[in-house]
Chains A and B, each alone.
Chain A
């Protein structure tokens, strides 16, 4: 019952805030937050029930045999539920401060609560159909929240893009479900995992297809190449949304999906290989793009994409607990980074371009420390959480026999260190550049027109409203402060190899793969990664923070902006390719339909149908004399026909 409460409280909040939002006014935020908080506490009390073997199960509805719907909470979904409700609660609290004074304050919290509900549906469902429903609903919530400031055309476009790309993924999952149901005959996870692999046959092409369909969904939701282009654009949404949905929870649903279907993946090495490669590709592609971005949230977005690449790589190669661990640590430090950047953005009146920042270490010291801890964590500095999880993922790829993926991961770690410290240095060190002429920084350069990089998102319309009192600043700082120790310490759960709490927590939960011989030990691997990270840090230091770089920062930023390779400015031309390959042909097809099919087939058909029915109507009208006796005569003739038939066909037949 408590599980249902966990699940439904956010829905209650969403309904409540939708229905009574205007009446609740500023109470909307606290109410929405409190419901999520209660949900979190309830989840905590379920800890013991969830961690027994098999977890807890709450059947709800049985539709057909094999089609029962219910909730289940096992170790994997427990981790996700705790993050969704816990981090979700903190971000709700933060939003009270961040969204303060927004016209649609209550609507924001209604959407946020709805998102929490949808995400809980996704992770708590005990069957694939419920998972798909949650999958679609989080996409919907994401659509609402990206397009939250719907007065901005760019936000609307970004929301639409995210929704469409997510639907591509939904279709993939749907096909996988069709295959599963047709072979297994059940939608329950327990049935699929016990009967699925025998039904498909290990290493069979069908199993690969199922995994591929699932992974298309995972790739779309988790912004994996080539379905990643929506994530940077999704930063059009309010910053708490970026922190909650597009960093901590929703985009990691792909990781959840792969980890959830671990029994299937482990029997399909081809699919595992594919997922690992895509993850590594995404990790390095996102990291490289992160190096050339100037919008603080876009940098974080690409870093999210890159980090999810790590997770996907981890769960893809079979290091499930490492991938989930990276999800856990990432949820904390990336939420913290986003919330920290949100404080900066809030303080600078919605300025998001780091070139116009600088020296904010003194202006927003709290944000600086929060971001610093986040950056150290994401870079994998020993002792911080990212160190443990990233090393676990990387060493997992190596020990499971994927040295090339390992190499890519290590290089990506170096790039990550470079762009994250670049962000930190450009934002918080040097001199404040908010008053420098933008063109001197290389902004609004003709070459960059229309790429989205040169435009800062601008002030949102709500800003002009006469402001009432602002919520106190602490309401934004406290959640970040709460996140901070977790960002540092949560990684220690994975300290100690086989006997680490994390490894024991998940022992037996995932199928294990045969370990390959590794060329060097985990300690050496950690040292190697750390060296690469230090190199990345050093390059960033020399380019952005060393005294000569600080001296002519404006000039250097301008030069860098102008000299950015076009291929990176355009994000490898993915958007352009989609435009050329899909959008333009679709438009052309549409125009052809407008010109040919619509007037000549559809309209003509409708017109002809109308004309012919009119003609028929005229014909039949002449029969309707309105005279009763004529009708009677007609009936009599009909009777006559019957009688004649029977009389002459059967008469005297005896």
Chain B
């Protein structure tokens, strides 16, 4: 319980910091803390593999991407500046309602008690819930198709990124295909037959 309380504290605090930070770089730091705390939370829930993945993918890959983009946008002559945040007028009731809803969930959830089934066994055994072996078996047998689809989605994302950011003209407009003018040059130049 104490572990959970500490982790929850970290999670909420770092999330708030992320959202309220002045500069994106600070947000990244907040987010890093949040991710690590979440990985620890996963461990308390016996989701070992997910905890590792959380660190590797989120902290390792996604956050680095963020840092890269921040660096990219901040580089050059102009400052990475931003005026004060203004909320849309409707945001206030919206946020209020959202807060109410989340409060409702939280209250309902804590009032409800879910019967937790016990788990037992040594970590690493494929029959034990939450072990990496167990997770892998489920991923590559019953859920193979979603897994493959995920791979496809990632590929599409890669192609999409290349299309969006890769081929960019001088004015920020994607370049059209270059048009050749004049006669085509022969690909293979004829060599003189006599040396």
Contacts and interface: CB of A to CB of B under 8 A. Distances in A.
Interface residues of A, number: 15
Per DSSP, are chain B's interface residues mostly helix, strand or loop, or mixed? Answer: helix
A654 B104 contact: no
Contact of A627 (B88, B101, B113): B88
Interface string A603-637: 00000000000000000000000010110010011
A633 B88 contact: yes
Given A630-B88, A633-B88, A651-B108, A643 B94 contact: no
Given A630-B88, A654-B112, A647 B105 contact: yes
B98 A652 contact: no
Given A630-B88, A640-B97, 6 more contacts: A637-B94, A637-B97, A644-B101, A647-B105, A652-B112, A654-B112
A223 B160 CA distance: 68
A643 B101 contact: yes
A633 B104 contact: no
Given A637-B94, A652-B112, A644 B88 contact: no
A647 B108 CA distance: 7
Given A630-B88, A633-B88, A633-B94, A643 B104 contact: yes
A648 interface: yes
B187 interface: no
B74 to A, nearest CB: 21
Contacts of B94: 633, 636-637, 640
7 contacts: A630-B88, A633-B88, A636-B94, A640-B94, A640-B101, A654-B112, A654-B113
A639 B105 CA distance: 12
A148 B11 CA distance: 87
B111 interface: yes
B161 interface: no
Contacts of B113: 654
A639 B104 CA distance: 13
A647 B91 contact: no
Interface string B83-125: 0000010110010011001101100100111000000000000
A652 B90 contact: no
Which 3 residue pairs across A and B have the least CB separation, nearest first? A651-B108, A647-B104, A643-B101
Contacts of B105: 643, 647
Interface residues of B, number: 14
Per DSSP, are chain A's interface residues mostly helix, strand or loop, or mixed? Answer: helix
A633 B101 contact: no
A636 B98 CA distance: 7
Contacts of A647: 101, 104-105, 108
Contacts of B101: 640, 643-644, 647
A644 B97 CA distance: 10
A645 to B, nearest CB: 10
A464 to B, nearest CB: 51
A435 B88 CA distance: 100
A630 B94 CA distance: 11
Contact of A651 (B88, B90, B97, B104): B104
Contact of A648 (B90, B98, B102, B104): B104
A95 B11 CA distance: 96
Contacts of A654: 112-113
Nearest to B97: A640
Given A640-B98, A640-B101, A633 B112 contact: no
Contact of B111 (A629, A630, A648, A652): A652
Interface in B3-45: none
A530 B57 CA distance: 107
A443 B107 CA distance: 107
